[in-house]
Structure 1
Amino acid sequence: MESERWVFLNGEYKRKSEAMISVFDHGFLYGDGVFEGIRVYSGNVFRLHEHMVRLYESAKSILLDIPYSLDELEAHVVETVRKNQLVDAYIRLVVSRGDGPLGLDPSECEIANVVIIVDKIRLYSQELYDKGLTVVTVPTRRNIPDALNPRVKSLNYLNNILAKSEAKQAGAGEAIILSSDGYVTEGSSDNIFMVKDNVLYTPPCYLGALKGITRQTIIDIAGELGYPLKEEPFTRHDLFNADEVLLTGTGAEVISVVQVDGRSVGKGVPGPVSKDLISQFRKLVTVDGVSAFPSEVKL
């Protein structure tokens, strides 16, 4: 039987069944907190520092003090991976406002709760990675950026969850969420790119898209491979007539889209640009980051 996972909780390592948070935690009560999803590939914690910088920037934006320095928390992330002995894994790092009385005032919470979970994740089957994903645009619109800046990766994902539910009801693998003005923003848990005439396009973050780590990785790879890239708004019409579409995210990784709202994308199969980007992404993820097992042979 697989041993129970270790969870980092406020400076201690506890078994999953013993890792408890109070029901008075403001993250539970109000979605008051921030998080990061991070991947481990062959023992390499992919772009860990970039994830940590984004976490601390999100926390600063919502006036949340993390009770560890960035370097200290980074070390705890790596140690949690080691304790769980997982060379391929998903990390969920959560910082909530902490315990407090009922009521919205965040100043009533004395200290943040910090949780690091390391486990397995798989959002899509291998068949979908091989053959491509069917997606739909959904009625739920993206939160307007001037209400909550999309660069804050907060614990409140209800907007995304509603979109995902609508995609599932439509029999699709993922949702594409539009802005209030009808522009494409992102998926429920991933960024989006399209290819037209060998040029990559991705929505600018000011429309409501998260500034994703995997998104930036694909931007970096595209530059190295010589593909022109434009961050500019586009619509459903543009997606319908794209040569290729792909989604990127820590959980989803990089996956091709072959149908949008019943319209085939390109030839209805993963295209050459997407395959090129995915191939280079697979090579990069095992070397760009921090090794959790530096003195051991990676499996």
Structure 2
Amino acid sequence: MTQHVFLAGRLVPEAEATVSVFDHGLLYGDGVFEGIRVYGGSVFLHDAHIDRLFESAKAIHLEIPMSPAEVKAAVEQTVEANGVTDGYVRLVVTRGSGALGLDIRKTANPQVIVIAADIALYPKELYQSGLKLITSGTIRNHPAALPARVKSLNYLNNILAKIEGFAAGAGEVLMLNHVGQVAECTGDNIFVIKRGVIKTPPLDAGILAGLTRAAVIQLAKRRGLEVREEAMVRHDIYTADECFLTGSAAEVIAAVSLDGRPIGDGKPGPITNDLLADFRALTRGEIEVDLS
């Protein structure tokens, strides 16, 4: 089946889904996006993703040329047109085309792009065996320079760290912030568990306000588990009983070592497995969480 992409207000075949070479999204990474999962034909946490998209756009002074309801409808239309039952949506808004240079006043016609397709971020077996992590020498962008709360098109920071992971044969890469604290991985938020208490970096550590992160925090509290959002260093991961990552594409996946040091017994832990089971139940609509 031919892939169809939503672009310029309508669905077009993939081969016709083109933007100008003068679009500032291409030239300067000037735009925002959301990665959204689809389960059973339903778009997961749809309203929360749309809200975050518009917040990111507002933060960079980008006016999206559609209402939230129209963008939501475009996502659903694209999912249906491509027959995606369990998959992934990439929702992108670019600044639009303009003159060379950084002056956004010389840009026009921001582009809203929706792509719906299948995805498998990690092989299935890694959800049973867990990921091996290394620490990147590339730190997370300073939050005063490029706030992680803005889900922008500029992912070079994350890509440079990911390259280090590929070279080392690691499944994912831990990134520290500008003061040496744990921030997040290249595409996932991170949690540790010690003596039954769950700990994750706070938003002011320079991390994305992940929606899967927020959902898992609520799932943990639903189980009566204590969750602390506080500063972490690598020592907290090295000495943890369990560790796991969360993200729209990754979902919930255990991390079993960092920099060659096993985490806990070097296997996915029971609390991680419980939260993964709860998350999958959430995606099937069997349980609910409140992210408001």
* TM category, shorter: over 0.9
TM-score by length of 1: 0.95
Distance 2:8 2:165 in 1: 36
Q: Secondary structure at the match of 2:35?
A: strand
CA-to-aligned-CA distance 1:6-39 (integer Å, 9 cap, x gap): 1000101011111001110000000000000000
Q: CA deviation at 1:288?
A: 8.3
1:294 paired residue number: none
Q: 2:176 aligns with which of 178, 186, 198?
A: 178
Distance 1:5 1:225 in 2: 41
1:263 paired residue number: 261
2:51 paired residue number: 53
Q: 1:113 aligns with which of 108, 111, 114?
A: 111
Supply the RMSD in Å over aligned alpha carbons: 1.1
Letter of the structure 1 residue corresponding to residue 88 of structure 2? Y
Q: CA deviation at 1:181?
A: 1.1
CA-to-aligned-CA distance 1:157-186 (integer Å, 9 cap, x gap): 000000110111111010000012111000
User: 1:1-299 maps to which residues of 2 (within 5 A)?
Assistant: 3-287=1-285
Distance 2:195 2:151 in 1: 33
Q: Secondary structure at the match of 1:126?
A: coil
**8 Å contact kept, 1:44–1:286:** no
Letter of the structure 1 residue corresponding to residue 167 of structure 2? Q
Gaps of 5+ in 2: 288-292
CA-to-aligned-CA distance 1:104-137 (integer Å, 9 cap, x gap): 0011112211100001111111111111110100
TM-score by length of 2: 0.97
**Compared CA separation, residues 108 and 288, structure 1 to 2 (3 A):** farther
Q: CA deviation at 1:85?
A: 0.9
CA-to-aligned-CA distance 1:195-245 (integer Å, 9 cap, x gap): 011111010111111000100010110111111000001111110000000
**8 Å contact kept, 1:46–1:288:** no
Letter of the structure 1 residue corresponding to residue 267 of structure 2? V
Distance 1:174 1:127 in 2: 15
Distance 1:109 1:192 in 2: 37
Distance 2:244 2:21 in 1: 39
Letter of the structure 2 residue corresponding to residue 158 of structure 1? L
**8 Å contact kept, 1:122–1:251:** yes
Q: CA deviation at 1:287?
A: 2.2
Letter of the structure 2 residue corresponding to residue 61 of structure 1? A
Distance 2:135 2:286 in 1: 33
Number of residue pairs matched by the alignment: 287
**8 Å contact kept, 1:6–1:13:** yes
Identity of aligned residues (%): 51
Distance 1:121 1:22 in 2: 27
Q: CA deviation at 1:88?
A: 0.6
Q: Secondary structure at the match of 1:287?
A: coil
Distance 1:30 1:156 in 2: 8
Distance 2:263 2:97 in 1: 48
Letter of the structure 2 residue corresponding to residue 165 of structure 1? I
Letter of the structure 2 residue corresponding to residue 171 of structure 1? G
Name the stretch that deviates more: 280-289 or 5-14.
280-289
CA-to-aligned-CA distance 1:130-156 (integer Å, 9 cap, x gap): 111101001000111111121100000
Gaps of 5+ in 1: 290-299
Q: Secondary structure at the match of 2:61?
A: coil
Distance 1:148 1:162 in 2: 16
Q: CA deviation at 1:286?
A: 2.4
Distance 1:215 1:153 in 2: 15
